[in-house]
Structures are given as C-alpha cells and as structure tokens.
Amino acid sequence: MKRFLISALVLLVAGWSIAATHDEDGSRLWLRADSVNTAAAITGVKGTAMAELQTFWQGGPVTLKRQKGLAKDGYTIKSQNGKTVIAAASDAGLLYGAYHLLRLQQTGQGIASLDISEQPFYDLRILNHWDNPNGTVERGFAGRSIFLNPDPARMKMYGRANASVGINGTVLNNVNAKPEVLSTESLQKSKEIADLLRPYGIRVYLSINFASPIRIGGLQTADPLNADVVRWWKDKVNEIYRIIPDFGGFLVKANSEGEPGPQDFGRTHADGANMLADVLKPHDGVVMWRAFVYKPQSSDRANQAYEEFMPLDGQFRDNVIIQVKNGPIDFQPREPYSPLFTAMQKTPMMVEFQLTQEYLGAANHLVYLAPMWQEFFSFVKPASLRAMAGVANIGDNINWCGHHFAQANWYAFGRTAWNPSLTPQDIAEEWLEQTFSLSATATNSPLSTLCSQLIHVMLASREACVNYMMPLGLHHIFAGSHHYGPEPWYSPRGVRADWTPPYYHKADSIGLGFNRTLSGSANVKQYPAELCSLYNDINTCPENLLTWFHHVPWDHRMSSGRTFWDELCLKYDDGVREARHFLTVWDALQPYVDCQRFGEVQRKLRIQARDAEWWRDACLLYFQTFSHRPIPQDVEHPVHNLDEMMKFRIPISMYENPESGYTK
C-alpha cells in the first residue's frame, strides 16, 4: 500500500512537471529568446545590431551592410544558401533589420529564402512618459518611474524592447512639466538616460513648462515675443545640445488644465510654438505642441481644441507638429476622431494615443488597444499625419506594465507606428507567440483552438470594455478622483461642470446623451460635410456614437427593433458576459502557461469580470432613476445595490493602480 502511494505521488509530480513550464515574471517582455552566445562588447547602433544577432541568432552567417538609396531607417533582408544579408542606409535600419530577423526566428517562420524590404511609415515613433521628478507617474499603473534612478540593465531592456518594435524617441517627463526639468542638474540626469538609449537608436525629448523663464530663469515674463525670453530659451537650448547633442526637442502642454502658456501673455499657441521652434531649428529639434485644451466656460468641451487651433492653421513653423489626442475629449473607451485631424490641412499633425489605460480599467483590465487605433485610422488617413505618439504604460513594476497583457499595447504601438496597415490580429498573433509561446498556427490541435480563442479575446476586449463601461456613445462617466470605476452621479458643488459626468451624459426623464447636433452644440459641423450629416441625424448616426451626438429618447427605436433603454441594458450585459468569457478562455490555457504568469493574469481577469458587473449595475441602476423603465427579462438583473455602490470609494491617487476593483 505504501509503495503504491509513493509511486502515485511520483507519477503525480512527473505529470505536473510536464504540464508546467518554469515560472516567468514578465520582465523579458516579448524578447524571451535564450542567448546562444556571448556577444563581444561593441559600441554604437550597428554594434547593438551585431550584439543582438551574436547573442540570439541561431541560423547561418549574417552580414550587415550599409547601402545608399534605401529609405531612412528602412532595410532589406535577403537570404540564400544559409547566408543572410541585412542592408540599410543607416545603422538604425540595420538594427531594425536585425530585430526583424530575430522576430522571424522567435515566431518560428521560415528563414531559408528571405526577400524582405521594409521602411517605417512615420519618421517619428515616440513614447510619452508622464513621469515626475519625484518618481511618481501620472496615470501610471505600473509602479514608479524607470527614469528616477536609471538602472543600466533595465534601461538596456527598455532600449531593446523599443528598438525591437521600431520606437525611436521617448519623452522622459510628464506634460504637466516641472520647470526644474531644465535645470543643469536635471539635464545631466537626462544625459545619462540619453547615453544609455542612444545605442538603441532612441533620441530623448523633454516636456517643458512654458513659464520656465520666470520659474527658473528669474525673468519677469515668459511672453514668447519678449527678447529676453527668446534669449533665455536660446541659451537653454544651446546648453541642452551641449549636454545631449542628439536631443530631439520639446513636448508642450500649454494653457491647458492650469499649465502656463502663451495666452497668459496675450499671445497665441502659434506665437508660443514658433518661438520654441526657432530656437530648436539650428539643432534640428522639433516642437510637439499639444492641442489638448478646454476651458470651463465653453458649452461643449468637444468643440474647443478646434475652436482654438483652426484659426491658426498654416501659421506654424515647419518644425512644429501639433499633437492631438485621437478623440476630441480625452482617451475615452470610444470617441469619434478629433475633427482637427481632417480640418487642419496646412499644419503638420501627429496623433497621441494613450497606452496607459487611464479610462480603460488601468492595469487591471485586459484591453488590447490596436483595434481602437485601427478604428481611428479608418477615419484619419495615416498619410495625413506626420508622426505617432503613445502615452507610455511603463513603470518599475517587474513586468513593466502592471498587467502582462498591457505589454501587448506597448508592442502594438511600436508596430503600428512602423506600419499602420498591420492588422490588430497580425500584431496580436506575433506578440502572443513571442510573449507566451502560444501560437494559433499549428492546425487541428486543442492548443491552437485555445490560442485562436485567446486572440479573439484580445481583439474583442476593447469593444467588451466599451460595452460594460459606456456603450452607445456614452463617455466620461468615471469616478471623479481616479477614472477607474463608475460614478455617473458624481457632481459635487464647486467642481467645474466639465469635470463631472452629468455634463456628458445629461440623463433626464426624456433620454440620455449630449446633443451635439446642429440644434445643440453644433459639434457635428466640425466634421467633413458627409460625416456632419451622418452624425447629425439620429437615424443615420452610427449607434456606437449615438449618445455622443444625440440626446436619445429612452424609447427611441434602435436598428435591432429594441428601444434605446432596452438596448443600453443589453449592451452593458453583453460586456459583462464577455468579460466572464475571457476568464473561461484563459482558465483553459493553464496547462500551457507558466504558473506565475497564469496566476497573475487570472487574478486580473477575475477583477475585470467583477468590475464589469460593477459598471453595469451602477450605470443601469442609476440611469433607471431617470428612465423609469424595467430592465428587460433577458438581461441579467443587477446583483448589487445602487446605494451601496454610491458610497463605495477606492482610496487611490492618480499615480496608483487599484489593487482590486469593486470589493463589496
């Protein structure tokens, strides 16, 4: 009997060890190949390319060749008879080619006869870090700033990760910029980081505070047309380039949310941006000037960026790029595209996406963002833009992004900026295979079926999040303090209206939504004529933007035949069901994923499913106090209680990820 027990135990242990692979903490991101060699110490960007290949490439000899006539940062890869040649016009191109080759190896693709030619769609593919000098990260959900005490090993991994997906610039600090960022001491710190990132083809940039000449320069004014101010900036910029010769330029948030700007001195955004552009020009630097502006007195926040920037179209220097968030309000789960993109025809523009999920469940929810960016690009032609920026979701958390699947958004950002026509599915597949060694391509195996389901989870995740948070065009009904959970009722006295949800949802006994039609705020007029008339009519407006543009009567008939109220209930419920389904798919993958990452993702998916219920119940019960209509029978009825939910608080600051969501 005893012997039987022992052998059963041995079998059990053996069985377990077959199933489980060794634990991983996610710190290697998608670059998990084991080294096959130790690389010789070589410097420069080409040196990095050689070192990466020496360390990880398992195939035949590879030659790196500089060749004129190829596009900037582009490359070709050709292989024959076991030999491979990567050719590029620049060292950065060679590095990108090397990573391409390694990606093919890591995703198990044929490398015998390659004939590849690539070039990046955008010259500037840049991350924006919202990191503060004290180490906090605004809307950062993955720990503290990686730049506070830059650890060379961590910086090396950061450089590799970015270069492997083609990211070639990084703004080191928050757009809510402290003037001290430009102190000589702080510039020396930025230089350290620039030195560590240069071998990966990454230039550093800084966000600046427009009042710096006053705050650290001792001047009385920061008026961009004042000669002393111009001289101050000129000297400062010269100093920067002495310290960091390949410095990229400035990112500026001006006259927005309390930040100083040229309007404080009676000047325009163009006056401010052009002054900085002129002093950066001799150094080949750029100004990325943000259009994220809104004032409490306007009747529609969605109108404002257009109102302020359109009159300035064509007035900016050629090294100014206007950086516009994808939507007109603020990184909501779904917004129409910002109308500035199609209206400003004479000004270089770039899009700012947000990788950190400020409004999409922070680092607790699996929300793969590539489908959202694809939706954006279906309205705004990629070629109409100069560059692409992504607000980083990176911190000192061991797995970098707080959620293993949030790494996919960093990865997808780089790949999309390299080539906006890559499909979200292609990107998800290559990320998943590299990150989890999960491939959907092996046919007819149970694993490949599960992998396909997981890819589907990623692709469906953004829409699911829209559904359980704010379907049918709803927006900005988040908790006032943390933007994580629902608080559609939040409207304390004294808080400016456009920082409270009722400003956006306008629920009343008639219906729900913001009238932005010609009879309302006329926001529709900012779109091209065709879209204007499409959005203006409640019967042609896409239903996924219905309450964005219309105050929709509760009994409005939807294309499904349901009333608007019933449809709203159904959408919320769909979102909940989907979130639960994500967990089911993931659970089935347990035998194929290392225990640590499996458990960590599972824990997050459980939070997500619970949060989805929280969102549905809070929103439906609250809106029901206006609609006075029953929740349809075929929709799961709320399992929570509105009064309790209205009292529930998550005591976090804007620098933290909520440990768990709704815990009642």
DSSP 8-class letter at 39: P
Six-digit token pair at 114?
A: 């390659």
Distances in Å between the alpha carbon of 109 and those of 102, 106, 116? Answer: 10, 8, 13
**Minimum distance of ligand GCW from residue 647's CB (angstroms):** 24
Residue type at 262? P
342 binds ligand GCW (CB under 6 A): no
Instruction: Please say whether the beta carbons of 373 and 388 come within 8 A.
Output: no
Shorter beta-carbon distance to ligand GCW: residue 289 or 592: 289
Closer residue to ligand GCW (CB): 140 or 199: 140
| Residue number with CB closer to ligand GCW (253 or 386) | 253
Q: How far is the CB of 215 from ligand GCW (least distance, A)?
A: 18
Is the Cβ of residue 145 or residue 563 nearer to ligand GCW in the bound state?
145
Q: Within positions 57 to 96, which residues make up the interface with ligand GCW, using CB under 6 A?
A: none
Token readout for 656 is 């933290």
- Cβ 99 to ligand GCW, closest distance in Å? 30
250 Cβ contact partners less than 8 Å away, ≥ 6 residues apart: 205, 206, 207, 208, 276, 280, 285, 286, 287, 288
Which helix (H) or strand (E) covers residue 62, if one does?
Answer: strand 62-66
**What is the closest distance, in whole angstroms, from the C-beta atom of residue 256 to ligand GCW in the complex?**
6
Q: Which of 352, 358, 433, 463 is catalytic?
A: 358
Residue 324 CB, shortest distance to ligand GCW, in Å, is: 11
- Catalytic residue from among 24, 330, 600, 613: 330
* Binding of ligand GCW by 139 (CB under 6 A): yes
The residue among 216 and 291 lying less far from ligand GCW, judged by its C-beta, is 291
**Binding region for ligand GCW (CB under 6 A) out of 60-68, 173-181, 600-608, 656-664:** 173-181
User: Judged by CB, which is closer to ligand GCW: 336, or 424?
Assistant: 336
Contacts of 261 (CB under 8 A, 6+ apart): 210, 252, 254, 255, 269, 272
Which of 67, 107, 176, 596 touches ligand GCW (CB under 6 A)?
176
Residue 288's beta-bridge partner residues?
251, 321
Q: Kindly give, in sequence order, each residue whose CB lies less than 8 Å from that of residue 612, ignoring residues fewer than 6 positions away.
A: 464, 468, 575, 576, 578, 579, 580
Distance of CA 154 to the CA centre of its chain: 21
**At 548, which amino acid appears?**
W
In the complex with ligand GCW, the residue whose CB is nearer, 69 or 258, is 258
Cα angle vertex 169, ends 168, 173, to 5°? 155
For residue 547, which of 583, 501, 607 has the smallest C-alpha distance? Answer: 501
Using CB under 6 A, which residues numbered 489 to 508 contact ligand GCW?
none
Q: Answer yes or no whether residue 349 interacts with ligand GCW by CB under 6 A.
A: no
Q: Which of 130, 316, 431, 554 binds ligand GCW (CB under 6 A)?
A: 130
Question: Are the C-beta atoms of residues 662 and 610 closer than 8 Å to each other?
Answer: yes
Query: Between 422 and 654, whose beta carbon lies closer to ligand GCW?
Result: 654
User: In this chain, which stretch among 168-176, 221-229, 263-271, 427-435 interacts with ligand GCW, using CB under 6 A?
Assistant: 168-176
487 interacts with ligand GCW by CB under 6 A: no
3 state DSSP class of 395: coil
Q: Is 253 in the site for ligand GCW (CB under 6 A)?
A: yes
257 is catalytic: yes
Q: By C-beta, is 100 or 301 nearer to ligand GCW?
A: 301
Looking at the Cβ atoms of 57 and 478, the one nearer to ligand GCW is 478
Question: Which residues of 254-334 form beta strands (DSSP E)?
Answer: 286-290, 320-325
The residue range among 170-178, 564-572, 606-614, 617-625 that interacts with ligand GCW, by the rule CB under 6 A, is: 170-178
β-partners of residue 128 are 171, 391
**Whether residue 352 lies in the annotated active site:** no
292 binds ligand GCW per the rule CB under 6 A:
yes
Which residue in 52, 335, 358, 613 binds ligand GCW (CB under 6 A)? 358
Among 73, 131, 138, 463, binds ligand GCW (CB under 6 A): 138
Measured at the CA of 455, the angle between CA 411 and CA 325, to 5 degrees, comes to 45
In the DSSP assignment, the letter for residue 15 is H
Select from 609, 586, 581 the least CA-distant residue to 599: 586
Q: Give yes or no for a contact between 369 and 391, defined as CB atoms under 8 angstroms apart.
A: no
Q: Decide if residue 403 touches ligand GCW (CB under 6 A).
A: no
CB atoms within 10 A of CB 542: 14
Catalytic residue among 25, 257, 508, 587: 257
Binding letters toward ligand GCW, positions 211-250, x by CB under 6 A: ----------------------------------------
- Residue nearest ligand GCW, CB atom distance: 330
| Cα–Cα distance, 93 to 118 (Å, whole number) | 9
Alpha-carbon span 253 to 405, nearest angstrom? 30
Cα 658 to Cα 139, 142, 384: the distances in Å are: 11, 11, 38
Q: Give the nearest distance from C-beta 338 to ligand GCW in angstroms.
A: 13
Cβ of 43: how many Cβ atoms within 10 Å?
A: 10
Picking from 104, 95, 96, the residue whose alpha carbon sits closest to that of residue 48 is 95
**x/- track of binding to ligand GCW for residues 294-333 (CB under 6 A):** ------------------------------------xx--
In the residue annotation, 578 being an active-site residue is answered as no
How far is Cα 60 from Cα 116, in angstroms, rounded to an integer? Answer: 17
Asked if 655 touches ligand GCW (CB under 6 A), the answer is no
Q: Is residue 175 a contact residue for ligand GCW (CB under 6 A)?
A: yes
CB of 655 to ligand GCW, least distance (A): 10
Residues classed as catalytic: 257, 330, 358
Q: Which residues of the chain form contacts with ligand GCW (CB under 6 A)?
A: 130, 138-139, 174-176, 253, 257, 292, 330-331, 358, 654
